Structure 1
Amino acid sequence: MIPRGEHVDGTGTLPDIVKAGLDVLFCGINPGQAAAKAGHHFQGNGNRFWKTLHDAGFTPGQLTAVDDARLPEFGYGLTAVVPRASRSADEVTGPELLQGLRDLEAKVRRWKPRVVAFLGKAAWTVHTGSTQVTWGRQGLAFGGAEVWVLPNPSGLNRHFSLAELVRAYRELREYVGAAEGISRSMQAPPEKWSEAERPMWLSRSLPSARCVASHRSGEENFVRDVETGSRRSTE
């Protein structure tokens, strides 16, 4: 894990929240300054990551940024292409992004997540050299992992409403669920969640017939050709 701490310029960094063999590793461009200062991923005001994650069925209870270290309990992790925090992702330089992608690919080979989910198109656009990146599942692997590109949940990304974010992230959740059955997070639900919550989470964990049929036929249900401007927003 990258230690929590400060860069010499005071911009800060965040630790990777990860363990080997995760279902999904969520990857932002770089941390926002508010997140780095707080020491937790997706801490910024208006960031919709944690709400989207819950509403899409990834977590049985509503987590917040201070719970970020718990995410591997459910089979998911967090990292960023560039560890340096900034006010805006526009401040990330081209050389930083290229080096960050090289470093990230080495990490992915070591951690072996099943899926790397890039939040925003910027990093995958640089990696592939394509200006025609679409949303959803990609045809190329990264460090041996499957790749999905999802909208950036930053509050600065006004191209996507919360409902649209949830729909996009749910496609990934159902894709993972269709292959794995009931997710590992349901195998040992935390004691503090009520019995009433668990049946609701179980129903979310079971893949829908539509999702299974869709992925068996090779369709991609959430592919949009809209550029979000994700380079303008960080975690």
Structure 2
Amino acid sequence: MRPTPADLQAARGAVIDDLLPEPLRLLVVGINPGLWTGATGAHFARPGNRFYPALAAAGITDWLVDPAEGYREEDLAHLRAIGLGITNLARRATARADELTDDELRDGARRLVDTVRERRPGAVAVAGITAYRTAFGVRSARQGRQQSWPASALELAEQGPPGGRAALEATPLFVVPNPSGLNAHATIPTLARDYREAADAAGMETFPPRA
């Protein structure tokens, strides 16, 4: 069953586990979980979010995943099989992204660097240009494939075990549009195009596009 209004309110502050399959090909980085995700445990679960329709339209998934009531076992198995990982810059569920603090986003940058260093994804796609700019301190960043990881990320990587900087430098980094229905600047076709570019860099299989 879909979450009730009471379920959604109870989900405030919930922390959702990352989806980190092995091998990890494309790691998608959201801003933070919404209340629908907090209630169901499924990333990008709110009805109207265009994340999974864009994945299907891009041929990244072989069918349209609908997690509004939580992941079905076959959907979750499929995401793992294709190597699609999902994490967030900030971990706590909120009703709106503007409830987050800049410090939470900057802490998320450190956690993302650690994840990339440890799990070595084929590519990383951060979904949300404003959050990306705040997290990494790059106010002039634009959407698309980044020429390199921000200097702040490379500095964080150097603070960890040896090889961290090299791991980041070897990982293609993209900033892609936020798939929220509130983002009027993106459509399913444009999201699919941008997500497909990141998936290609990650070496992911291409399925027949699904409407």
Confirm or deny a common fold (TM above 0.5): yes
Distance in 2, matches of 1:10 and 1:103, equals 21
CA contact (8 A) 1:20 1:113 kept: no
Residue 100 of structure 2: aligned partner: 92
The 5-angstrom pairing of residues 1-235 of structure 1 reads 10-65=12-67, 66-67=71-72, 69-70=76-77, 71-141=79-149, 144=168, 145-176=171-202, 180=203, 183=204, 201=207
- After superposition, the C-alpha distances for 1:185-220 in whole angstroms (9 at most, x for unaligned) are 58xxxxxxxxxxxxxx3x67xxxxxxxxxxxxxxxx
Number of residue pairs matched?
176
Deviates most, 126-135 or 91-100: 126-135
Shift of 1:9: 8.6
CA contact (8 A) 1:17 1:69 kept: no
Return the TM-score normalized by structure 1.
0.68
Residue identity matched to 1:170:
R
Distance in 2, matches of 1:9 and 1:44, equals 13
CA contact (8 A) 1:29 1:81 kept: yes
CA contact (8 A) 1:22 1:113 kept: yes
Deviates most, 82-91 or 115-124: 115-124
By relative contact order (CA 8 Å, sep 6+), the higher-ranking structure is 2
**Structure 2, unpaired ranges of 5+:** 1-9, 158-167
Sequence identity percentage: 34
Return the TM-score normalized by structure 2.
0.75
**Structure 1, unpaired ranges of 5+:** 1-7, 187-200, 205-235
Residue 230 of structure 1: aligned partner: none
